[in-house]
Amino acid sequence: MARVYNFSAGPSMLPEYVLRKAQADLLDYQGSGQSVMEMSHRSPWFEDILHNTEAAMRRVLGVPDNYKIGFFQGGATQQFAMVPLNLMTTGTADYIVTGNFSKKAAEEAAKFGIARIAASSKDKNFTYIPDVKAIEYDPNASYIHICQNNTIFGTKFAELPQVAGVPLVADMSSMIFSEPTDVSKYGCIYFGVQKNVAPAGMAVAILREDLLGRSAKGIPAENIPTMMNYTTLLKADSMYNTPPCWCIYMTGLMMEYLEHEIGGLDAMKKINEEKAALLYAYLDGQDFYKNPVEKPFRSLMNVTFTSPSPELDKEFCAEAAGAGLLNLKGHRLVGGMRASIYNAMPREGVIKLVEFMEQFRKAHA
């Protein structure tokens, strides 16, 4: 069996530990005589899975007691609408646009109120993050929205906007669990799980309790579609209807991996920093490849680079795939290459990539 190094931005690699556990449980989950894919979501086995997954997530991420955790379908993109529908109580919110996903989030919010673009890094093709301390925030904003790690452009916020009385809402899809997070700095954290947690099919939202029971200005709470109403869904412990059972189970296995195999998010961060440092150090030490991102805002998870020409980029990706290094093509908005090196990418994979890059450089420089 040959496993490849998959650098896809998502869905992406899962740790072998998680895959093997799922495999071992597949035909007969803990004596139930069935797989998690087959069992009722109201069965005692699944109720335990849901409860344990949430409890483990609280331990691993350090989620304070005054926050609720919800497991939803619809991906991170549905959260772009759920956030304003449920939280835009003043009819306006501040959006910091640092890439394609934050732009989409703002566009979605504009359907329910005013999505004010408080700052943007579009002027330099999203290669940096605006100075969050220099931004003039709207004191009447219901919340400030950021996309904390920009999956497509390979940037990450080095500092968080913190405005008294205005909750911070963050899309953390491509960085959640990659490093410790101080949840108390946020009113709401949300993420699609297919980048760094589990297979595709679920989004998670972590919400401060005092933000529940509300709705966008002009939209009565009872008019929010049921499946988009945080308050209804969280009151039912994510079991208002059939939840994404398999994703919840796989998320639980990932929490077990982070807690017991890795030793928590401090340890995970160290591993991720070492991996990213290998790649960035190589990029900084030559001038065949270019990384366009301003250094303080480099992502730990998504590393973008280009070769001297689009033709060579294409050749690079094709040859890399032949060498077992898959999905290195950059997003169409950026071109070039992107290596997504999430938690599950082994250090070996990054070393192999750097070796391949050097070999390719020598052949084409």
**Which among 89-97, 167-175, 248-256, 284-292 is the span making contact with ligand PLP, rule CB under 6 A?**
167-175
Give the bridge partners for 291, in sequence order: none
Q: x/- site string to ligand PLP, residues 31 to 70, per CB under 6 A? A: ----------------------------------------
> Is residue 126 part of the contact set for ligand PLP (CB under 6 A)?
no
**Which among 14-22, 64-72, 168-176, 304-312 is the span making contact with ligand PLP, rule CB under 6 A?**
168-176
Length of the chain: 365
Q: Pick one of 132, 171, 216, 340: the residue that binds ligand PLP (CB under 6 A).
A: 171
Q: How far is the CB of 361 from ligand PLP (least distance, A)?
A: 29
**Which among 29-37, 62-70, 71-79, 306-314 is the span making contact with ligand PLP, rule CB under 6 A?**
71-79
Angstrom distances, CA of residue 292 to CA of 99, 125, 155, 234, 304? 14, 9, 10, 41, 8
Q: How far is the CB of 63 from ligand PLP (least distance, A)?
A: 20
**Which among 169-177, 219-227, 264-272, 286-294 is the span making contact with ligand PLP, rule CB under 6 A?**
169-177
Separation CA 356–CA 128 (nearest Å): 28
Q: Pick one of 6, 7, 10, 177: the residue that binds ligand PLP (CB under 6 A).
A: 10
Separation CA 308–CA 306 (nearest Å): 7
State the alpha helices, DSSP H only, in the chain: 16-25, 44-61, 75-87, 100-109, 230-235, 245-256, 265-284, 310-322, 347-364
Check: CB of residue 37 under 8 Å from CB of residue 29: no
Amino acid at 365: A
Check: CB of residue 57 under 8 Å from CB of residue 191: no
> Is residue 188 part of the contact set for ligand PLP (CB under 6 A)?
no
Separation CA 67–CA 3 (nearest Å): 39
Q: Which is nearer to ligand PLP, 92 or 151 (CB)?
A: 151
> Is residue 108 part of the contact set for ligand PLP (CB under 6 A)?
no
Based on C-alpha coordinates, what's the Rg of the chain?
A: 21
Q: Pick one of 62, 75, 292, 324: the residue that binds ligand PLP (CB under 6 A).
A: 75
First to last CA, the chain: 35
**In the complex, which residues of this chain contact ligand PLP (CB under 6 A)?**
10, 75-77, 101, 147, 151, 171, 173-174, 192, 195
